[in-house]
A and B are shown apart, each in its own frame.
Chain A
Amino acid sequence: MTTPARVLIIEDEKQIRRFVRVAVEEEGCQVTEAETMAQGLVQAGVRQPDLLILDLGLPDGNGIDLIHNLRGWSDVPILILSARSRENDKIDALDAGADDYLIKPFSVGELRARVRALLRRRSPTSESASPVIEFGRVVVDLSRRLVTREGETMHLTPIEYRLLSVLVGHPGKVLTQRNLLREIWGPSYSESSHYLRVYVSHLRQKLEDDPTQPEYFLTETGVGYRFQP
């Protein structure tokens, strides 16, 4: 990589900032820190970071508002740091457009893996350019609406295909149930989450080796789903 990626950390606890900084720098990134939401928003505008690491429990305001604000003018990947008790905050943040989350306490290894995955999406070569997505023994050709497994064409229903294309279109990103329901069925279905679960189950049965222990279409319990290529 010629230019190092710029990462902005918005976190009020100094010691957490310290080790997050060390871990992210280890990935070869340039780090900027902000202690408050107000500072963070200014820095995000000035620095134009490639990745934003945001603690949801900031003292001077709601991190979700920051995400809404940011999503108005930037699609920078956002990684949320959250305490487990704030389940709804986490879902709201992901609904608002955050990409992934880590539950405190988390290890440096996990953090580095998430940072790497989110930064990988930044480089245009890996994504969007090619309409063909491969994972395991499955090949999805979005241009031809063709799904094969071990060279054999898989028959998907229209909803299964739509679900698959939304999931593979956001590799690594946590998609909340609300997001997926809205994308696939439109706003009127937002209450019938069991439909979503049933179709994800169909997709796993057709594309996963062991549908009870999936490798690619992962459940984020209580939150939604993630496609992990």
Chain B
Amino acid sequence: MPIDTSFGEENVSAARRIALTVAACAGVTLLATPLLGYLDLANIVMLFLLTVLVIAVKLGRNAAVLASVLSVLCFDVFFVPPRFSLAVSNIQYLVTFVVMLATALTTTHFTSVLRQRAQEAVKREQRTLALYQLARQLAGAMTVGQVLDIAGGFVLSQLNARTAVLVPDDDHKTLDPVQFHGGLPIEVHLARIAFESGELVRNDEVRAMGYASLYFPLKASLRVRGVLAVAFVEHADGPRDETLPLLEALASLVAVALERLHYVEVAQTADLKMQTERLRSSILSALSHDLRTPLTVMVGLADSLFLVKPALPPAALETAQALHEHAERLAGLVGNLLDMARLNAGDVILRREWQPLEEVVGASIKLLGTALDGHPVNTALDAALPLLEFDSVLIERVLCNLLENAAKYSPAQTPIALHARQVGSVVEVSLLDHGPGFPGHRRNELFNMFVRGQAESGRPGTGLGLAICKAIIEAHGGTIEADDRPGGGALVRFTLPVGNPPSVEEEPS
């Protein structure tokens, strides 16, 4: 039931109301005329006032005003001597008329105010009830579609208006209409203004063209979650003032419901991601354990052949040595593959900490040890390098891979240079060797998986080392590239962003 229709008043047409009023006044006159001999004129006035009161209650203000005037006229013409004339014999009856008219109009006024209050109270109660119901339904809604259906149904039943909801897309750039009720046309610019300002936008000019004229921002606790557009079709004169608070209440209920659904989704996604992550890391760690155990056994048992007493013949020891080397190389490859699987499987979890670069440089050189094969590493790190925020284990991995590559492809005993300096907002680390350099045309393909510089080279490798470096550096927000060293040799350069290093107070000494 639309709340605009209420009581009986509007069901009775104006002409009928006038007729009823006139009839009532005539009836009272007829009723009172035979009593003229028995009642004082003052009491007959009371009968007329009673009539005005009844009309005010039953037929509203306008009818009651008419009744007031008619009553005074009837009283004058039919009861006050000389009867059947507007003339008055005694001037004091003028006071009676004035008082009678004033009393009738005052009664009319208060009665109609009371009537109006009562009607408003009933309307308010109905709306409150409807809002309670709406809130209950919204609380149970499981999808955005349900929320919009419930809200749309509410507006249609309570205000006989149509609605549409617009929500922003994922990057908050455009507003998309989620749902039309019968293809409600929407002025997207107005919706945009409402969305960005967080204020109600009202435009009665577009309403004439059939567009939605009210745009309510769906304000939730953290941000505006969308826009509710409302179009009034039935009322040519647009929405009434009292419907705005109702629509605002509706908008905030819808906003809260949308926000709730948003967080439910966020929580579900996070949960799913966590489960996937846990599964992936447990698979990788089981795989790693299962592959590493036999490799450990192979390396260890090959080594222990050297401890057999009496000593084995040299040929057997040579075999043992080869076994050891190949098992270790296999372990390295397995490590690379597992790392690549971990890095490639999506978000790399970085354990970033602020630290000086020199620390991880020193650790990498120490870790490689004999793998550097006698190549000295000349480090030149700028003294004023800031602390950098990185995952030390992974950056050590990068440096080890690059140093190992340099050692592998450089002529024996030639030095490898490692330079680092700050360039603007990044720290640039360069590794330079005296090897043959990179093949010019496919230089940057080298950072893809399973690509090697010299495909037929006798040197062992899978072409994963540089791909791992690239994945790690990019996860840190840096870049990596290969270049030719001026004067011959290879150059690999990578950058790490400087960020905002924490300050370290100097200790008073």
Contacts and interface: CB of A to CB of B under 8 A. Distances in A.
B297 A13 contact: yes
Contacts of A19: 297, 300-301, 303-304
A198 interface: yes
Given A105-B299, A108-B300, A85 B356 contact: no
Contact of B288 (A16, A83, A197, A214): A83
B95 interface: no
A57 interface: yes
Interface range, B side: 35 or more
- Considering residues A106, A200, A221, which has the most beta carbons from chain B within 10 angstroms of its beta carbon? A221
A218 B366 contact: yes
Contacts of B337: none
B393 interface: yes
B41 interface: no
A221 B395 CA distance: 10
Nearest to B393: A222
Nearest to B354: A194
Given A15-B297, A106-B299, A22 B307 contact: yes
A26 B300 CA distance: 14
Interface string A197-218: 1101100000000111110001
A109 interface: yes
Given A85-B289, A157-B509, A198-B356, A109 B303 contact: yes
A84 B285 CA distance: 9
Given A18-B301, A107-B324, 18 more contacts: A15-B301, A19-B300, A19-B301, A23-B307, A83-B292, A85-B288, A104-B292, A105-B331, A106-B300, A107-B300, A108-B303, A193-B353, A194-B353, A212-B362, A213-B366, A214-B366, A222-B391, A222-B396
Interface of B: 284-285, 288-289, 292-293, 295-301, 303-304, 306-307, 324, 327-328, 331, 335, 338, 351, 353-356, 358-367, 377, 379, 381, 387, 391-393, 396, 502, 504, 507-509
Interface of A: 13, 15-16, 18-20, 22-23, 26, 57, 83-87, 104-109, 111, 155, 157-160, 192-195, 197-198, 200-201, 210-214, 218-222
9 contacts: A85-B284, A85-B338, A107-B299, A108-B304, A155-B509, A194-B353, A213-B365, A213-B377, A218-B366
